[in-house]
């Protein structure tokens, strides 16, 4: 890494915070005193109103109204209501997305459908193409489905993706923003290329929704999934979401196609309690079982924190601040950490960067992250040797970035990370 010529001071960062139109949104979150939280790309911070909202669901809706709340409190339609809010962040029209299950289960559902449609349209196209560096659960689900249905999972390096978009492609499976490097794909261009080759695309938005502008309909995307606990601030294990383009929903309706996990709430009339399955129309068929109402309440609070940016410019404003924060972090690390063996893994180009910065170090990366956490700077570690820092513009400021780098400098200069307590691997890294 090379140091920039113009030093950046903490006063410069404080001045940027004073000009920040999004600064007041930080008050939406409970952030522990003395903590610089740079791990919202793994688990978002707690919205202040989530506790009260969850208590309301528990004590009033469940406690007082009991089973009546499925009607009185609108529990049955809660997955669609929250999904429509998420839709405003990902370019989905009302009724096109649904909140249900986990990202892994939703990926299993939509990838299965995509494979079914691809096989019907191009029987000889039997390849699922994905990045070798894609998030493991996506690859595991794809491998399982490929084995079940006679497809071939082909893993390629990022630079080689375009060379595998050909007439053998059935489904292109990509995470929009790579979890390890923070590199972002050109969704529109890759979707267009896959369609031109006769294939379909499934996008994983786990590191995109609430972090970078996404417009699924404008990109003419096919399917998408995403989780609720990262930039959507829905809490640990929050329900996930899925989306499919209206043309695929219409085709499923016309051909009475099932998704593979056909649960009772995905039935056209679940309270008929029929022994014969008839799929609901549209995205509703992708619901499996009873919605997790308490978790949905927390997720809605988290989604609302992102939507609170709409009067201030919405996702465009959040994106501009995210890029400013990540630019600042990269510049400060290059200015102040030269000679410490840190290599930038995240693209410098804005069009290729998500809302995180990843640094690689051959020695001690895990221990360095642990030493930072002990100082109150919370990032995380990913093999091999990746220090990963997420920048959620709703609650991270420019002075936070300067302070985080100051701690990093001290950890490196003093070799604090070499202490034995920082070199003991925990179960979660």
Q: Over the chain, what is the mean pLDDT?
A: 96
Burial of 168 (0-12, 13-18, 19+ CB in 10 A): middle
**Residue 1 predicted with pLDDT over 60:** no
Judge whether residue 5 has pLDDT over 80: no
Question: Model pTM?
Answer: 0.96
Axis-axis angle for helices 10-19, 314-336 (nearest 10): 180
Q: Which domains does the chain have, with CATH numbers?
A: 10-48+314-423 (3.90.1150.10), 74-305 (3.40.640.10)
Catalytic residues: 135, 204, 229-230, 388
Q: What is the pLDDT of residues 71-101, one digit of tens each?
A: 999 999 999 999 999 999 999 999 999 999 9
Q: Are 38 and 404 in contact (CB under 8 A)?
A: yes
Where does residue 59 rank: exposed (0-12), middle (13-18), buried (19+ CB within 10 A)?
exposed
**pLDDT confidence of residue 429:** 81
CA distance 108 to 205: 15
Task: Measure the CA–CA gap between 150 and 157, rounded to whole angstroms.
Answer: 23
Q: What are phi and psi of 328, to 5 degrees?
A: -65, -45
**Mean pLDDT value of segment 336-350:** 97
Interval 263-297: pLDDT, tens = 999 999 999 999 999 999 999 999 999 999 999 99
pLDDT of residue 266: 96
The pLDDT of residue 33: 95
Q: What is the mean pLDDT of residues 192-210?
A: 98
Please list the residues that pair with 37 across neighbouring strands.
Answer: 378
Share of residues in the chain with pLDDT > 70 (%): 99
């Amino acid at each position: 890494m090379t140091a920039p010529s113009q030093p950046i001071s903490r006063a410069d960062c404080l001045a940027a915070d004073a000009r920040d139109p999004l600064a007041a949104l930080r008050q939406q979150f409970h952030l522990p005193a003395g903590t610089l939280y740079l791990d919202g790309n793994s688990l978002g911070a707690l919205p202040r109103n989530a506790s009260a909202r969850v208590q309301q669901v528990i004590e009033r809706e469940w406690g007082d109204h009991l089973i009546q709340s499925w009607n009185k409190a609108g529990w049955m339609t809660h997955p669609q209501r929250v999904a429509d809010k998420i839709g405003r962040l990902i370019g989905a029209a009302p009724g096109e997305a649904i909140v249900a299950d986990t990202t892994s289960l939703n990926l299993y559902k939509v990838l299965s459908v995509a494979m079914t449609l691809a096989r019907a349209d191009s029987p000889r196209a039997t390849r699922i193409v994905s990045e070798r560096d894609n998030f493991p659960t996506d690859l595991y689900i794809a491998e399982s489905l490929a084995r079940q249905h006679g497809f071939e999972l082909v893993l390629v390096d990022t630079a080689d993706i375009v060379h595998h978009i050909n007439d053998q492609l059935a489904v292109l499976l990509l995470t929009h923003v790579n979890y390890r490097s923070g590199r972002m794909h050109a969704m529109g261009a890759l979707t267009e290329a896959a369609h031109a080759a006769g294939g379909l695309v499934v996008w994983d938005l786990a590191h995109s929704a609430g972090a970078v502008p996404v417009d699924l309909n404008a990109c003419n995307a096919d399917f998408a999934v995403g989780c609720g606990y990262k930039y959507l601030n829905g809490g640990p294990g929050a329900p996930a979401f899925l989306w499919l383009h209206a043309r695929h929903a219409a085709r499923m309706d016309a051909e009475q196609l099932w998704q593979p996990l056909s649960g009772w709430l995905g039935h056209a009339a679940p309270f008929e309690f029929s022994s014969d399955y008839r799929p609901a129309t549209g995205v509703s068929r992708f619901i499996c079982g009873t919605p997790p109402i308490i978790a949905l309440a927390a997720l809605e609070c988290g989604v609302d924190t992102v939507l609170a940016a709409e009067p201030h410019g919405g996702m465009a404003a959040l994106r501009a601040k995210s890029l400013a924060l990540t630019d600042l972090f990269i510049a400060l690390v290059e200015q102040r950490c030269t000679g410490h063996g840190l290599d930038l893994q995240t693209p410098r180009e804005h069009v290729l960067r998500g809302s995180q910065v990843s640094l690689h170090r051959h020695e001690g990366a895990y221990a360095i992250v642990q030493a930072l956490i002990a100082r109150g700077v919370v990032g995380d570690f990913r093999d091999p040797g990746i220090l990963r820092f997420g920048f959620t513009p709703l609650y991270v400021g420019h002075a936070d970035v300067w302070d985080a780098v100051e701690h990093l400098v001290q950890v490196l200069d003093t070799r604090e990370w070499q202490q034995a307590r920082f070199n003991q691997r925990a179960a979660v890294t």
